[in-house]
Chain A
Amino acid sequence: GDSVTQMEGPVTLSEEAFLTINCTYTATGYPSLFWYVQYPGEGLQLLLKATKADDKGSNKGFEATYRKETTSFHLEKGSVQVSDSAVYFCALRNSGGSNYKLTFGKGTLLTVNP
């Protein structure tokens, strides 16, 4: 079945540091890939997405590129801020079937210190 493996946390960085959170997936067919973010006390929010190979999703300075050859969708940001502290989830949605459900990784807690 479908699965998502993402880098275990927690990750602690200083402000303005470079961020990478690794994510790899296993899926049949051609999934769409997503990064969701969960700020403290809030619900999951879509951060970015990519729907086909070599697509780059970007939002709020975060980027991730859909790499079919390595089945990866790593999240990157060049300079993190304290306000980026949150839990980040990598997810896929398979193109097969019609329910469009999401399969999530376990999440990575990011803490950014001033």
Chain B
Amino acid sequence: DTGVSQDPRHKITKRGQNVTFRCDPISEHNRLYWYRQTLGQGPEFLTYFQNEAQLEKSRLLSDRFSAERPKGSFSTLEIQRTEQGDSAMYLCASGQGGTNTEAFFGQGTRLTVV
């Protein structure tokens, strides 16, 4: 399978713990995005990488959140000191090229904070 893969698919954690998610984009894609989707809502943009550079962060991304994309390949999203409000589906997408090209999404990581 050469699509976008995310790991883990599900994560249950206790409030206050740190969690880290991984995204492996399609190999030739230089653009990588993280989105968050809560129940009954559409995905909301969190952050964007072009190659290894993080070029934009949403105000939704509080200082407890950090994302990296070392070497411009896979990316990690870490949430420190998780809160119940962090419970959501975290989606990764990748793309290549200009404004008219498609973004391909992974299946997401569902986080539940108890």
Q: Which residues of A contact B (CB under 8 A)?
A: 4, 32, 36, 41-46, 49, 51, 89, 91, 93, 95, 98-107
Contacts and interface: CB of A to CB of B under 8 A. Distances in A.
A3 B6 CA distance: 27
B43 A44 contact: yes
Interface in B29-50: 31, 33, 35, 40-45, 48, 50
Among all A-B residue pairs, the 4 with the closest Cβ atoms: A104-B42, A44-B105, A43-B107, A43-B105
Interface residues of B, number: 29
A37 B24 CA distance: 21
Given A101-B33, A101-B48, A46 B102 contact: yes
Contacts of A46: 102-104
Interface of B: 3-4, 31, 33, 35, 40-45, 48, 50, 55-56, 91, 93, 95, 98-108
30 contacts: A4-B42, A41-B107, A42-B107, A43-B106, A43-B107, A44-B43, A44-B91, A44-B93, A46-B102, A46-B104, A49-B102, A51-B100, A89-B43, A91-B42, A93-B99, A95-B99, A98-B50, A98-B55, A99-B48, A99-B50, A99-B56, A100-B99, A100-B103, A101-B33, A101-B45, A101-B56, A102-B45, A102-B103, A106-B40, A107-B42
Nearest to A50: B100
Contacts of B106: 43
A100 B29 CA distance: 13
A101 B35 CA distance: 10
B58 to A, nearest CB: 9
A93 B97 CA distance: 14
Given A101-B56, A106-B42, A107-B41, A45 B99 contact: no
